[in-house]
Chains A and B, each alone.
Chain A
Amino acid sequence: MITRRQEEHSIKEKNRVRTMPRIQRTCAAILRNLVRAAALLTGGVLVFLVGYILIKGIPHLNWDLFAWEYNSTNVSLMPALINTLLMVLISVLISLPLGVGAAIYLVEYTGKGNKLVGLIRLTAETLTGIPSIVYGLFGMLFFVNWVNWKLSLLSGACTLAIMVLPTIMRTTEEALKSVPDSFREGSFGLGAGRLRTVFKIVLPSAVPGILAGVILAIGRIVGESAALIYTAGTVAEVPASLLDSARTLSVHMYVLSSEGLYINQTYATAVVLLVIVVGINTLSAFLARKISNKSIG
């Protein structure tokens, strides 16, 4: 079978052989090299950025950085790492049921053209576009001051849960929509109610898609700093309770780099952050491949 790309390639070759005005040929060559240069630049920037951080950071990775205690002589990133895990866990725990529930309502319970559905879509889109600093400020005004949770893990997690809610909603919606209607009809035909159909038939088939959304959300939570500084605060300890302040790894890295005293440790922290991000990306790419394989098979 000839793929589209191969076909295009053979056409390109034929074009090149075919005699055509020189000006047209140079024009084509210029455009071709222009797009190549742009792609090379994009790839080059990534390689340079990641390479630079790795080369500068890896020599400074040592066990002291992973000590249990953070203090001014040893700026350990361990508490921040644990806080990041806690933050991810709590935010996802809050956001996942809400996002999945909302998606189920949108896909399984409503028809097209419903006014409420339009409003829900519009607000979800609005939430997607709001910058993280505005979330941070809202979290500070609402969770920290009004609900009076103070600077705490819980305030931060709730703020981030709202921030990633549209991501989880959208990916779950896509996943639910990709489940064939014949599955639902078969289930209804066997006498199952709507609720049972959703939980026993539709949701299990949509799990990889939902997981991909959750991983995307985790990536955002791990990388977030602006929304956390004034909601979760910057205390570099593992919190004793949900209502204690806790800095995550990204916030930790920001504090280190703005203090400017621990440049080597900052590089090393950046390496750890990059490794986590690459891991998350690989996982989501793996899941995406699994989904596309399934839809073909």
Chain B
Amino acid sequence: MMKKKNFAKLKEGLAKILFLIAACVSILAVVLICLFLFANGIPAIGEVGLFKFLTGEVWRPGNDIYGILPMIVGSLYITAGAILFGVPIGILTAIYLSRFASRPVARLLNPAVELLAGIPSVVYGFFGLVVIVPVLGSSILTASILLGIMILPTIITVSKSALDAVPQHYYEGALALGATHERSVFKIMFPAARSGVMAAVVLGIGRAIGETMAVMMVAGNQPRITGNIFEGIRTLTTNIVLEMGYATDLHREVLIATALVLFVFILIINLSFSALKRRSEKV
């Protein structure tokens, strides 16, 4: 009897430890990712020089000139473009789905948004390549439009759940004061959901800046700084994929350092996202 009880206790303890180990895998993964990116990227930054690396305008691996400013600017350009196209349409669609759509329409549009989220980025890229590129060329504009479409589902689902979470009596109060349905939604419901909608935008920015394959297929990939939206550019993400295949020595380490810069961007975006989310939950 005593033995059986001890055995059960042992089993319980063992299980708890196993679950704990499983739970710690995500910590381990983040630590390993940081460790390997920093250990492989920092020496290259040291060799090139942090200032030269981040603000150098010329990327010419053949001559050992590594400036990633064109890629940083490129990433910012197409992210801004994607936000310009994706955010207004995404938020308006979310408002429509949350407050305007009749039930049959919502039943059709909700799965459509989910499907949009599920389509692989290579399929988006290919679609951009055969439909948008022939019209607008491989350019900043093309990449921005395509990315704008790709971040739509993120913007829509996150803003919609923020709008749905606003208490119904806000809406009823506005109506009681004589506002129209539209006015109540735009002047009362939408401002109340503001920080949730901001979180959606930040998440969208994260998606856009991290997207690789689709951008690579439509952006032209020239490492240059240009203000012309009909010209091609290269982003941080595509720079890695394009050259990793044949890079060696310092060139290779510099590419890893490029990923490190991207990683730091993403960490900043993530932190602001969780801060916004926490704030919207408090409201």
Which residues of A have CB within 8 Å of B16?
105, 109
What is the bound-complex CA distance between A68 and B190, given in angstroms?
55
**Interface-forming stretch among A34-42, A59-67, A177-185?**
A34-42
Whether the Cβ atoms of A257 and B129 lie closer than 8 Å is yes
**Interface-forming stretch among A70-78, A85-93, A119-127, A203-211?**
A119-127
Whether the Cβ atoms of B114 and A20 lie closer than 8 Å is no
* Complex interface bits, A114-156 against B, C-beta within 8 A gives 1, otherwise 0: 0010011011111101111111111011100010000000000
Q: B112 contacts which of A38, A46, A258 (Cβ < 8 Å)?
A: A46
- Give min CB distance, B221 to chain A, whole Å: 11
> CB of A189 within 8 A of chain B?
no
Question: Which 8 A-B residue pairings sit nearest by Cβ, starting from the closest?
Answer: A131-B210, A101-B22, A223-B120, A38-B92, A105-B19, A35-B96, A102-B23, A28-B182
Q: Return the chain B residue nearest A278 by Cβ.
A: B115
Could you tell me which residues of chain B, from 231 to 283, have a CB within 8 Å of some CB in chain A? 237, 240-241, 244-245, 256, 259, 262-263, 266-267, 269-270, 273-274
What is the bound-complex CA distance between A100 and B25, given in angstroms?
12
Interface on chain A toward B: helix, strand, loop, or mixed SS?
helix
Whether the Cβ atoms of A134 and B26 lie closer than 8 Å is no
Q: A230 contacts which of B25, B111, B244 (Cβ < 8 Å)?
A: B244
Interface on chain B toward A: helix, strand, loop, or mixed SS?
helix
Which residues of B have CB within 8 Å of A166?
26
Which residues of A have CB within 8 Å of B12?
193-195
Which residues of A have CB within 8 Å of B97?
39
Whether the Cβ atoms of A53 and B123 lie closer than 8 Å is yes
* Complex interface bits, B15-33 against A, C-beta within 8 A gives 1, otherwise 0: 1101111111111011011
Whether the Cβ atoms of A32 and B123 lie closer than 8 Å is no
> CB of B46 within 8 A of chain A?
no
> CB of A52 within 8 A of chain B?
yes
Whether the Cβ atoms of B96 and A137 lie closer than 8 Å is no
Whether the Cβ atoms of B22 and A4 lie closer than 8 Å is no
Which residues of B have CB within 8 Å of A273?
120, 122-123
What is the bound-complex CA distance between A281 and B110, given in angstroms?
12
* Given known A-B contacts A125-B270, A126-B30, A165-B29, A105 and B22 have beta carbons under 8 A apart: yes
* Complex interface bits, A253-268 against B, C-beta within 8 A gives 1, otherwise 0: 1100110000100100
Besides the known contacts A102-B23, A131-B211, A133-B241, 4 further A-B residue pairs in the complex with CB atoms under 8 A apart: A31-B182, A36-B100, A105-B20, A225-B122
Whether the Cβ atoms of A138 and B183 lie closer than 8 Å is no
Whether the Cβ atoms of A129 and B270 lie closer than 8 Å is yes
* Chain B residues proximal to chain A, CB less than 8 Å: 8, 11-12, 15-16, 18-27, 29-30, 32-33, 36-37, 40, 88-90, 92-93, 95-97, 99-103, 105, 108-109, 111-116, 118-127, 129-131, 149, 152, 156, 168, 175, 180-183, 185-186, 206, 209-213, 217, 237, 240-241, 244-245, 256, 259, 262-263, 266-267, 269-270, 273-274
* Complex interface bits, A160-198 against B, C-beta within 8 A gives 1, otherwise 0: 001001100100000000000000000000000111000
Whether the Cβ atoms of A138 and B114 lie closer than 8 Å is no
What is the bound-complex CA distance between A197 and B97, given in angstroms?
41
* Given known A-B contacts A35-B100, A132-B212, A133-B210, A257 and B92 have beta carbons under 8 A apart: no
> CB of A274 within 8 A of chain B?
yes
Q: A222 contacts which of B95, B103, B120 (Cβ < 8 Å)?
A: B120
Which residues of B have CB within 8 Å of A132?
210, 212
* Given known A-B contacts A119-B27, A141-B36, A109 and B19 have beta carbons under 8 A apart: yes
What is the bound-complex CA distance between A193 and B12, given in angstroms?
8
Could you tell me which residues of chain A, from 1 to 40, have a CB within 8 Å of some CB in chain B? 3-5, 8-9, 11-12, 15, 20, 24-25, 27-28, 31-32, 34-39
Whether the Cβ atoms of A129 and B115 lie closer than 8 Å is no
What is the bound-complex CA distance between A182 and B18, given in angstroms?
26
25 A-B contacts, Cβ less than 8 Å apart?
A5-B102, A34-B92, A38-B96, A39-B97, A39-B109, A42-B90, A42-B116, A42-B156, A43-B112, A101-B21, A105-B22, A120-B27, A129-B267, A134-B33, A134-B266, A136-B241, A137-B37, A137-B256, A141-B256, A225-B120, A226-B237, A230-B245, A250-B120, A257-B129, A285-B111
